[in-house]
Amino acid sequence: MSHLVSTLHLYNIANVKRVVADLSLCNTHSQVLAFTGPSELADCLKDMNVMVIPAGVPRKHGMTRNTVNSTVPIAAQVLKKKGVYDPKKLFGVTTLDVVRANTFISRKKKLKHIIVDVPVIGGHAGITILPIFSKTKPSASLTDEEFQELTVSDSECWN
């Protein structure tokens, strides 16, 4: 989110394209690039000051993401206890859903992404993600068709 970051390279032994796609939604001018496997590691590290390495395994059919919902609040409490909490430096699945909702609304309504704020409540798994479009700032009304497109359970927006 810092204006000092112009390029962000992500590396993993498995595909990181989804992570790159999600981070590319952040309201910043930074370029986000994916690097996968040992053959791309040198290119990933070239001229980099900071690198994010996603870990874990891709979600399989039937698996949910709900347990990760507690990660950010737990991390926030640990950082607060240590006296080093900065909400601008802690991102997680809740932030991702907010960024996604902000992006969808800004694109649909042709608004500057940086000014859009859509509150999101609920979990981080399909139908448990609840963007509160009626509370969007600046106010942006959706047609029934737009609302349906952004909220249907099998929508690519949230999966």
Give the CATH number, domain containing residue 129.
3.90.110.10
The residue range of the domain holding 127 is 94-157
Kindly state whether residue 105 falls inside one of the protein's structural domains.
yes
pLDDT mean across residues, the chain: 79
pTM, entire model: 0.51
Examine the domain organization and report whether 49 and 101 are in the same domain. no
Q: How far apart are the first and last CA of the chain?
A: 23
Kindly list the distances between the CA atom of residue 115 and the CA atoms of 28, 92, 140, 143, in Å, as whole numbers in the listed order. 12, 21, 12, 21
Place of tokens 């590319």: 24
Which residues of the chain register pLDDT less than 70?
50-59, 63-72, 91-94, 124-126, 153-159
What pLDDT sits at residue 105? 93
Place of tokens 């309201």: 27
Kindly state whether residue 84 falls inside one of the protein's structural domains.
no
Catalytic residue IDs? 124
CA 94 – CA 117 distance, rounded (Å): 13
For the chain, the domain total comes to: 2
Kindly state whether residue 87 falls inside one of the protein's structural domains.
no
What pLDDT sits at residue 90? 72
